[in-house]
Amino acid sequence: MKYETSRLNDKPVDCDVEKRILRNVAPLTDSLATDGAVILPRGVDSTDFEKNPVVLYKHSLDLSAPSTIGRAIALEKGEREILSEVQFADNELGRGLAYLYGVNEQKEVYMRAWSVAGAMVKRKTWSWEEARAFFGGRWDANMETMLRARGYDQVLVCTEFSMNEFSAVELGADKEALTRVARNGLEVAGQILTRLNLQDAGECLAQLKKQVEASERNFARLEQEIQALRSEGASAAAQRNSEAVLAELTAMLEVAKNNR
C-alpha cells in the first residue's frame, strides 16, 4: 500500500540559479507529521528510488500530464533526516517550481514542503509519553495539541520504509507571496494559488453543509416539539415548555439576522 507523508523544509536556501539546482532539500525528517506519523530515516531503504531518482509534482504519475519536475542528483541519509540536491527540469513547470522553492536571485521562498511516497514495511506505535521522551527538546507541542484535538490517541512510527519517490507539494505555501508573483506573470504560481483557494473553498462548503444539516435537524425537532406542545395546551405553558421552545427559536432567528 502506497503511503505519503509531507514535511516542511526549514533549511536556508542554497542554490545554483543557472543550473536550477536546490541544495539542502529535506524530503524526509523524523519530525511528527500532520498525519500523526513518524518515519525513522535510519530505516529508509532508497534502493528503488535511486534506480530512477525522479522528483515529481504532487506524486502525480499521470503520463498524460507533466509530472516529472526534476531529479535528485544527491541523496544522503542521516540519523534524523534525508538530504538531497534537486535539479529542476528545464521546462515550464520545472523552472516555475524552482523559482517558487527559492531558486531565484533573491532566494525568496514561496513553497517549502516536500513529500515522500513509498511503503511502510515495519511499524509500531508510541504513546504520547513515549514520543515526547524520544524527541526531548525537539518535541512539537503544538503539533501534539492539534493531533490530539483530531482524535489521535497514539503516534504511528515507521521503523522500515521503502522509499519510491519524493515530490514537491503545496503544503504550507505562502498564499500572499504566491499572489504577488502570479501577478508578475509566473503562471504556475497562479495555478497553485487557484488550487489552494478552491481547496479552502471546498472545506468551507463542507463545513457550511454540516451546519445547514444540523440546523435542519434542529428545525425538525422544534417543529415536532411545537406540534406536541399544542396538543398539551395549557399544561405546556404551566411547565414552561412552550417558553423554552420560543426562546430557542428566537435566539436562532437573531443569529440568522446577524449573519445576513
The pLDDT of residue 119 is above 90: yes
Question: Residue 242 — pLDDT band, cuts 50, 70, 90?
Answer: low
Domain coordinates of the chain in residue numbers?
3-173, 202-258
Instruction: Note the pLDDT of residue 191.
Output: 80
**Residue 127 and residue 104: Cα distance in Å, rounded?**
43
DSSP β-bridge partners for residue 87? 21, 71
Per-residue confidence (pLDDT) for residue 63, from 0 to 100: 47
Over residues 135-185, the pLDDT tens digits come to 999 999 999 999 999 999 999 999 999 999 999 998 767 677 778 888 888
Give the pLDDT score at 216. 80
Q: How confident is the model at residue 202 (pLDDT cuts 50, 70, 90)?
A: confident
pLDDT band per the 50, 70, 90 thresholds, residue 260? low
Dihedral angle computed from the Cα positions of residues 145, 151, 154 and 158, in that order, rounded to the nearest 10 degrees: -100
* pLDDT confidence of residue 154: 95
User: Is pLDDT at 1 greater than 70 in this prediction?
Assistant: no
| pLDDT more than 70, % of the chain | 87
> What secondary structure letter does DSSP report for 128?
H
Residue 253 pLDDT greater than 60, yes or no? yes
Contact between 1 and 110 under an 8 Å Cβ cutoff? The reply is no
Residue 51: pLDDT band (50, 70, 90) is very high
Terminus-to-terminus CA distance in the chain, angstroms?
47
What percentage of the chain carries pLDDT values higher than 90? 49
Spatial distance between the Cα atoms of 172 and 170, rounded to a whole number of angstroms: 6
Let me know: does 172 contact 8? Beta carbons within 8 Å. yes
* Rounded Cα gap, residues 153 and 155, in angstroms: 7
Higher-confidence residue of 157 and 194: namely 157
78-87 average pLDDT score: 93
- Average pLDDT of the segment spanning 234-254: 65
- Per-residue pLDDT, averaged over 23-36, amounts to 90
How many helices (H) and strands (E) would you count in the chain? 8, 10
Decide if 29 contacts 81 (C-beta within 8 A): yes
